[in-house]
Amino acid sequence: MNHYYDAVSEQKLIESYCFKVKPSFSSMVRRHLRYCCRTSRTLYPCNSILHHTITTQWVSAWQRNNEQTLGTQAQQLGSLYRWWTWLFERQLTLQRHIVNFIIALQHLICYIIRNIS
């Protein structure tokens, strides 16, 4: 089944996920996911980040347009990875390979940050 995601349905899914996250982390996770989605919509107007789970082509453009530090980007990608994994486990049309790619990218950014200092 194909799904269409707009900003409203995207926000509902973020809120559903954040409701399941530990209360002490939900505000940070919500902020990271909203920033990821906003940055994605800047690049792809009227298109949810959830429409880009079958390809990794969006990642480099997303990173170039992300004004946050590498450390924050790593946290954002970690939040995105956990959200997408949660969505995948609930049988939404997310591709498993993109979830694995996001976690690998998160580890790469963490490695870069450790070696910059």
- Residue 77 included in any domain: yes
CA 81 – CA 76 distance, rounded (Å):
8
Q: Is residue 94 part of a domain?
A: yes
- Is 1 contained in some domain? no
The predicted pLDDT at position 116 comes to 67
In a domain, 54, yes or no: yes
Query: What is the total count of domains within the chain?
Result: 1
Query: pLDDT at position 93, please?
Result: 57
Q: Is residue 2 part of a domain?
A: no
Domain presence at residue 52:
yes
Judge whether 79 lies within some domain: yes
pLDDT for the residue numbered 2: 56
Tell me the per-residue pLDDT of 74-114, one tens digit each, with 9 for 90 and over. 888 889 888 988 888 887 656 666 666 777 777 777 777 77
Buried b / exposed e across 2-27, counting CB within 10 Å, b at 16+?
eeebeeeebbebbeebbeebeeeeee
Is 93 domain-assigned?
A: yes
**Full domain range(s) for residue 24:** 7-116
